[in-house]
Amino acid sequence: MAKNLNSTTRDKQTKSKQQKMSTWQLLKRFFSFLEKKDQRMVIVGIFVALLSSACLIIATLLTGLVITKSLTPAIVGLEAFNVTRFAIYIAVMGVLFLSYAVAGYFQNRIFINISYKAATQMRKVAMDKLLFMPTAFYDKEMAGDLIQSLVTDISNVSNTVTKLVSQVFANLFSIIFGLFSLFFISSILALIIMVSLVSFLAVTILMIRKARPAMIATQAAFGEINAYVEEMLRNTKITQTLDNQAQAQSDFNTIAHKIYKHSFVGDFYQRIFDPWFIFASNITVIIAIILALVFKLGGVPTFGLLYKEADAGFVVALISQVFTINGTIQQVMLLFLTVQLGHASSQRVFRITDLIPPDSNQPTVPLPAGTKGEIRFQNVFFKYNENSPTYQLNDATFYAKPGQTIAIVGPTGAGKTTIISLLSKFYYYNQGSITLDGIELNQIDKHDLRDIMAVVLQDSFMFNDTILNNLKIAKPEATLEEVREVTRLVSADDFILKLKNGYDTVLENNGANLSQGERQLLAIARAVLGDKKILILDEATSNVDSNTEKIIQTALQDTIMKNKTSIVIAHRLSTIKNADLILVVEGGRIIEKGNHQELMARQGYYWNLYQTQFN
C-alpha cells in the first residue's frame, strides 16, 4: 500500500540544515569520502607535518645557542673562536632548515592530492543523490541554488580543507613545540608570554565567531542569486514580452544588496584581523624584550635548561621563538577565518550528500521477465503539498489490460498529468494502490520500471549532443539505420536530413536550434526507438501541424502501440476515438469512463466536450 515517502527526505534535509558542525567534524566528514588507502595517507601527512615543525623549532633554538656557545665567548675574549664548533652548528642548522623545506613540500603534496580526491568523490556522491531524488524534491528546490552547491560550495570546502590540513597540523605542532621550547629558554617568561598570548587569542576568536554567521548568510545569498539568474536567463522571452525588466532588475538588486550586506560584515572582521594581530604580536615581543632586560639587569635566574642567565643568545632565542610562535598563531587564526567560509559551504554541500532518496530503504521486487503491462489504479489519493487539505487526485480507480490504449481527457488542472506522474513514479501516492502486473508500484525498482516504460512529455528536453546521440539514449546499441527507420515512422527523417549536418547536427541549449514541433518529433522517435512495453504520451503531438499529427497517429495506432499498454493524454479528441478506454477527469476525480461510443451515448461531460470541439 502507499506510504508517505516524501517526508523522509525533507526531514533529513531539515535536520542537516540545522546541524552545526565543528572544524573537526568537517574534516572527518570530508575525509570520509576518501578510500581507505588515501585515509592512511592523512596519517602520513600528519607525521610529515610533525617532522617539519620539529625541524623548524630546533633550528630556531640553535640560533640562540650559536650566539651563546660560539660567538659571545669569542667576542668578549673568554676563549678563541672555535671554527669547528661553529661550522657544526651551522651545518646542523642548514640540515634542519633543508629538512623543514623538504618535509613541507611533501606535506603539501600529500594533503593537496587527497583533498582534491575527496572533493571529486564528494561531487560524485552529491550528483548521484540528486539524480535519484524524486520530482517532488525539485518542486521545492531552486536549480541555481543546487548548482551553487555542486560547483562553488564544494570548491570552497575543498580549498578550505586543503589549506587547513596542509597548514594547520604543521602550525599547531610549531606552536606546541615553540611553547615547549620557551620553557627550555625560561619557564617564568614562558608562563608570562603564554598568558598574554591567551588574552590576545580570546579577542581573535571573538572576531571569528562574529564573522561566521555573516559568511553562512553570504553563501546562502549566492545560492539565491544563482537561482534567480538561472530563472531569468531561461525566461527572458517571457520577461520581455510582459515588459517586466524593471521588476526583474529590482528583484535582482534586492538579492545583490543582501550579498553586499553579509559580505561586508564577514570581510570586515577578516580585514581588521591583520592589524589587530600585528599589534598584539608586537606587544608580545616588547613584553619579552622588557622581561629579558629585567632579568639581565636584576640578575634574575632564567629557570631554563639551556640558559643560566639572560645573555645575548638568550635574548635572540627568546625573541626568535616569540616571533615564530606569533607568526604561526597568526597563520592559524587567518586559516580559521578562512575555515568559516568552508563551514558555510559545507552545510549546503552535506545537505545534498545526506539526502536519502525516498525509496532507497524500501524493499524492492524485481519485475519478472515477460512483463505484460497490466496496470491497475485502486482508490488512489494524491496531493502535491502534504500539508494541504486538498487532494489533486481523489479516489482514482481504473484498470488497463495488457496491450490496451487508455486515453485521459479533461480540462486544464483536472489531474491528467498527475495520473501519469504517479504511474511514472515521479511522485508517490498518499493512499490507495497502483499495481503493475499485480506488483505494488512502490515496491518496483525504478530501474526495472524504466526498462519497460517510455514517457513522452509535453516539454521535450534535448541534451547538448548530436541528434543521433539524443535518440540513441533510449537504445545505445541502435544502428543509424534502426534510428532512421523510427524517424521515418514519425515523420522526423525528412527535416533531419535537411539540416546541414543531418543526424550529426549538435543540439544546443535544449534544442534551441530546432522548432518546438521538431523537438517533439524527436522525443516521440526516442520513445519509440526504446520499444518499451508501456508507452505514455502526454500531449505528445500538441506542437506539430495537423498533417504531421495524422501521420503520427496512424503510425501509433497501426505499428507503434501494437502489443503495448499505452496511456495517452490528449486535448484533441479526434486523436483518441479508437482508445480502448477513455477516462474523463475533472477536479481530480475520474467522472466518466468508457470507450468513445459508450461515452457519446451517455451524453455527459465527454459528449459536451466533443460537441464543443467539433461544432
Of 323, 353, 383, the residue that ends a domain is: 353
| Diameter of the chain measured on Cα atoms | 126
Average pLDDT over residues 275-282: 74
Average pLDDT over residues 569-595: 90
Burial 327-336 (b: 16+ CB within 10 A, else e): ebbbbbbbbb
Q: Pairing between strand 589-594 and 581-586?
A: antiparallel
Q: Are residues 312 and 456 in the same domain?
A: no
Class of residue 435 by CB neighbours under 10 A (exposed 0-12, middle 13-18, buried 19+): middle
In 3D, which of 524, 482, 489, 527 has the Cα closest to residue 503? Answer: 482
Q: Are residues 91 and 138 in the same domain?
A: yes
Of 295, 323, 353, the residue that ends a domain is: 353
C-alpha span between 444 and 366 (Å, rounded): 6
Average pLDDT over residues 550-554: 78
Residue 16's pLDDT is what? Answer: 42
Average pLDDT over residues 19-40: 79
Residue 17's pLDDT is what? Answer: 43
Average pLDDT over residues 64-88: 70
Residue 348's pLDDT is what? Answer: 83
Q: Are residues 285 and 419 in the same domain?
A: no
In 3D, which of 162, 170, 74, 158 has the Cα closest to residue 112? Answer: 162
Q: Based on the structure, what is the number of domains in the chain?
A: 2
Residue 74's pLDDT is what? Answer: 59
Q: Are residues 523 and 394 in the same domain?
A: yes
Average pLDDT over residues 513-527: 86
Class of residue 444 by CB neighbours under 10 A (exposed 0-12, middle 13-18, buried 19+): buried
- If pLDDT is split at 50, 70 and 90, which confidence band does 3 have? very low
Q: Are residues 476 and 344 in the same domain?
A: no
Give the three cell numbers for residue 352: 545534498
By residue range, what is the domain housing residue 197? 17-353
Asked whether residue 2 is assigned to any structural domain, the reply reads: no
Asked whether residue 6 is assigned to any structural domain, the reply reads: no
Asked whether residue 363 is assigned to any structural domain, the reply reads: no
* CATH number of the domain that residue 580 is part of: 3.40.50.300
Residue 580's pLDDT is what? Answer: 92
Q: Are residues 289 and 395 in the same domain?
A: no
Average pLDDT over residues 290-296: 77
Q: Are residues 474 and 578 in the same domain?
A: yes
Asked whether residue 361 is assigned to any structural domain, the reply reads: no
Q: Are residues 300 and 429 in the same domain?
A: no
Average pLDDT over residues 267-280: 72
Residue given cell 657544526 in the structure block: 88
Query: Residues 575, 541: contact at Cβ < 8 Å?
Result: yes
- Residue 12 pLDDT > 60, yes or no? no
Q: Are residues 21 and 64 in the same domain?
A: yes
Q: Are residues 345 and 447 in the same domain?
A: no
Asked whether residue 414 is assigned to any structural domain, the reply reads: yes
| Number of residues in the chain | 615
Q: Are residues 268 and 416 in the same domain?
A: no
* CATH number of the domain that residue 103 is part of: 1.20.1560.10
C-alpha span between 148 and 349 (Å, rounded): 9
Structure confidence by residue, pLDDT tens digits, 124-135: 898 888 888 888
Asked whether residue 8 is assigned to any structural domain, the reply reads: no
Asked whether residue 219 is assigned to any structural domain, the reply reads: yes
Q: Are residues 276 and 387 in the same domain?
A: no
Cα angle 21, 121, 158; round to 5: 50
